[in-house]
Amino acid sequence: MILEFILTIIAFICALYGVMVLLAGSGTSFYMVWLFLAIICFCLAVMHHFDIWSHIPKWIHVALHIVAGVSIAVVLVLNMMIMTTFHAEGQEKLDYIVVLGAQVRDFGPSIVLKLRLKKATQYLIENPDTICIVSGGQGANEPEAEGTAMKKYLVEQGIEESRILVEDRSKNTAENLEYSASLLDKENDAVGIVTNNFHVRRAVGLAKKQGYKNVCGIAADSSRRFLPNNMLRECFGLIKDFVLK
């Protein structure tokens, strides 16, 4: 009974959280991972209640336990890796900073993007010779290109328009960095990647993979409500980058 209760509670929490992520309108379908986890936990609770589990061959028990154990261990290790760059401040007097795009809504930058822009604004004020590249194209559910919206925001914060370069074609992090590279010298320029804390590790890793020689991360804050979702999503992203290496 205790195990059934725990599994049911976990299923309920995962389902509720998945719906919350869906309603946030982030533009991705990652919320389905939480709904999938909810279904798995609920099915396990049902199997335990009706004693179905005991009729399954032992080798399947062992295989499932191994898969579950390895999956949990991988997620824990990747989360520890992600957290090593959670408070990255970058270097002073960089030649360029690249602000990675995120969701733009009808009223302007989303909370996630606004946090990146606030960090970029702070850095640009403290380092008046640094040039800023705002990177991001227009998604199907966005009113304008992310790069364009980001430039408007920075200008409103008092950053000189001449210090802001716009890259407005990219659709993901890899393209952010690839297309931004055409606006700088990735072999010689010192570059800072501005993104949310949970995303710094992966973004800097991709930049190095693409040939940025002198690159560092600059971590912006993130929404605590959606941090579990973002951290888990980054785990999948790191795995994908490793497989495609």
For the chain, domain boundaries: 2-83, 96-243
Torsion sign over Cα 203, 205, 206, 212? positive
The domain defined by 96-243 folds into Rossmann fold (3.40.50)
Within a 13 Å sphere around the CA of 148, how many CA atoms are in the beta-carbon half? 10
pLDDT value at position 226?
93
pLDDT value at position 184?
96
Which residues, in sequence order, are CB contacts of 52 under 8 Å at separation 6+?
46
Per-residue pLDDT tens digits of the chain, which is 245 residues long: 788 999 999 999 999 999 999 988 777 889 999 999 999 999 999 998 888 888 889 899 899 999 999 999 999 999 999 999 999 999 999 999 999 999 999 888 999 999 999 999 999 999 999 999 999 999 888 899 999 999 999 999 999 999 999 999 999 999 999 999 999 999 999 999 999 999 999 999 999 999 999 999 999 999 899 999 999 999 999 998 888 76
Q: Work out the number of other CB atoms within 10 angstroms of the CB of residue 245.
A: 7
Stated pTM of the model = 0.89
C-alpha 219, offset from chain centre:
12
pLDDT value at position 26?
75
34 to 15, 17, 111: CA distances (angstroms): 6, 7, 22
pLDDT value at position 22?
92
pLDDT value at position 245?
65
